Amino acid sequence: MERSEGKTSLLCLFLFTYCLQCRCDIPVVQNWPSSVTLPENIPIGTVMFNFTVKSDIFDEDISINTQDSTTFGVVNINQNRGNNVFAQVISKTELDRDGYGIPGKTTSILKFVVIDLRGNTLNLLTTLKLIDVNDNTPQLENTPYQWSISEYSKNGNETFRRIKATDLDEGINGNDGIVFKMEPIVEPESLVLEYLSTFSIDSSTGVIRQKRALDYEEHSVYHFNISATDQKGNGRTSESTILTITVIDVQDTPPVFTSGSYKALVRNDAEIGTHVITVHALDGDTGYRPMNAIGYYISPGGCSEVFTINDQGGINTRLHIDQNTDAFESACELDVVAQEVLYDANQQYGPIKTKATVYVMLRSKESQDEFDRCSSDSPKVVGTLLVTLLIGIQRFI
């Protein structure tokens, strides 16, 4: 019984001595921060924090290392060797919370390990908190911008909602502070005012709004510079991009004759079917495809009964011309109408007819022959003049 109690006492003494010795061997860390708060833009090489590690063992050699890849990626440790260590944790890369340092993280855990020669290890953790600074510029997305809008959108309520921008910074330095701007790419000042009276941008949302009626025939395309600025922060401005607004043509314009008026001569004894003149018109909606075909007719009245017009605008005599007839004396006027044909009535928003006047004058056989002769001579005269002019130029050179 006494021998058993003696063994127990010896075992307790051994364990007490061992534990006491182990506790004394373990290095002691001082001034270790539980968290560190720094601006994200500290320069590389900045001392982030200091601490000390001490051991009672005189010949101890304490080393401090990073414990994971994240910590290894952002800090270096500067320390002396021995049993009384002073250590500095120093940044070795940009900490940029928004970019590539510790991407997207406001807080990170930094992990270290203290090792001594006896194999004691101490794991140390601290929380790194990064304070945001305005170091990012708004970036416009899905650029450049294209908006096609029908000229029939006349009520001014059309909107374009594809303009977006992102700023990685926080709060008003980031998305909350973005102000959108649009500037006309046009001269002169009168057109700038027209641009600005036609479209506007919501500076907070980037939504473009049509403010007034459009007219393809007046203005078929608009160009604006679009930019985004974190104006409520420090005013970093994105690279600008172009918004092109294309007005889509609709059928709202009548045909247009290629000449304001026509003048024609006809012999006073012309036979039936004699060609007088050809008129030509095109649909005024030049951006509409396919273009509407054009037909022609002569409005009743005047000498309209004397002439006829075909699908190509060719006007010929329908009756034998007699200068003594009541319908046609020395001159008359024809009202020729160009009209869009085979059009889609559901897509028609304006007039489809235009009138032009053709002035027809009688010419005697003798004067007609003289006119024909001069006409056939003209190229020769021009040719002669041209040759003379070229010779003159050659001599001058």
The number of residues that bind Ca ion (CB under 5 A) is: 17
Q: Which stretch binds Ca ion (CB under 5 A): 18-26, 68-76, 234-242, 373-381?
A: 234-242
CA distance 185 to 191: 10
In whole angstroms, the minimum distance from the beta carbon of 357 to Ca ion comes to 21
Exposed/middle/buried for residue 377 (C-beta within 10 Å: 0-12, 13-18, 19+): exposed
Q: Which CA distances in Å does 252 have to 80, 197, 198, 236, 351?
A: 87, 22, 20, 46, 7
> 236 to 295, contacts with Ca ion by CB under 5 A?
236, 249, 251-253, 283, 285
Interface characters, 150-169, with Ca ion (x: CB under 5 A): -----------------x-x
Which one, 98 or 116, has the nearer CB to Ca ion?
98
In whole angstroms, the minimum distance from the beta carbon of 215 to Ca ion comes to 8
In whole angstroms, the minimum distance from the beta carbon of 96 to Ca ion comes to 7
Closest CA relative to residue 89, chosen from 110, 107, 70: 110
- For 258, the enclosing helix (H) or strand (E) is none
In whole angstroms, the minimum distance from the beta carbon of 102 to Ca ion comes to 12
The one-character DSSP state at 345 is: G
For position 339 contacting Ca ion by CB under 5 A, the verdict is no
Among 173, 198, 229, 317, binds Ca ion (CB under 5 A): 173
Q: Which stretch binds Ca ion (CB under 5 A): 65-73, 91-99, 199-207, 377-385?
A: 91-99
Which one, 152 or 359, has the nearer CB to Ca ion?
152
Q: Which stretch binds Ca ion (CB under 5 A): 51-59, 78-86, 106-114, 170-178?
A: 170-178
235 contacts: CB under 8 Å, gap ≥ 6? 229
How would DSSP label each residue in 147-207?
EEEETT-TTS--EE---EEE--SSGGGTGGGEEEEEEE---SHHHHHHHHHHEEE-TTT--
> 121 to 150, contacts with Ca ion by CB under 5 A?
132, 134-136
CA distance 172 to 167: 10
Whether the Cβ atoms of residue 160 and residue 208 lie closer than 8 Å to each other: yes
Which one, 96 or 116, has the nearer CB to Ca ion?
96
In whole angstroms, the minimum distance from the beta carbon of 376 to Ca ion comes to 40
Q: Which stretch binds Ca ion (CB under 5 A): 62-70, 195-203, 231-239, 374-382?
A: 231-239
For position 60 contacting Ca ion by CB under 5 A, the verdict is no
Give the HSE-up count for residue 86: Cα atoms under 13 Å, Cβ half-sphere: 1
Among 49, 216, 222, 224, binds Ca ion (CB under 5 A): 216
How would DSSP label each residue in 100-134?
TSSTT-SEEEEEEEEE-TT--EEEEEEEEEEEP-S
Whether the Cβ atoms of residue 206 and residue 164 lie closer than 8 Å to each other: yes
For position 98 contacting Ca ion by CB under 5 A, the verdict is yes
Residues lying near Ca ion in the complex (CB under 5 A) = 98, 132, 134-136, 167, 169, 173, 216, 230, 236, 249, 251-253, 283, 285
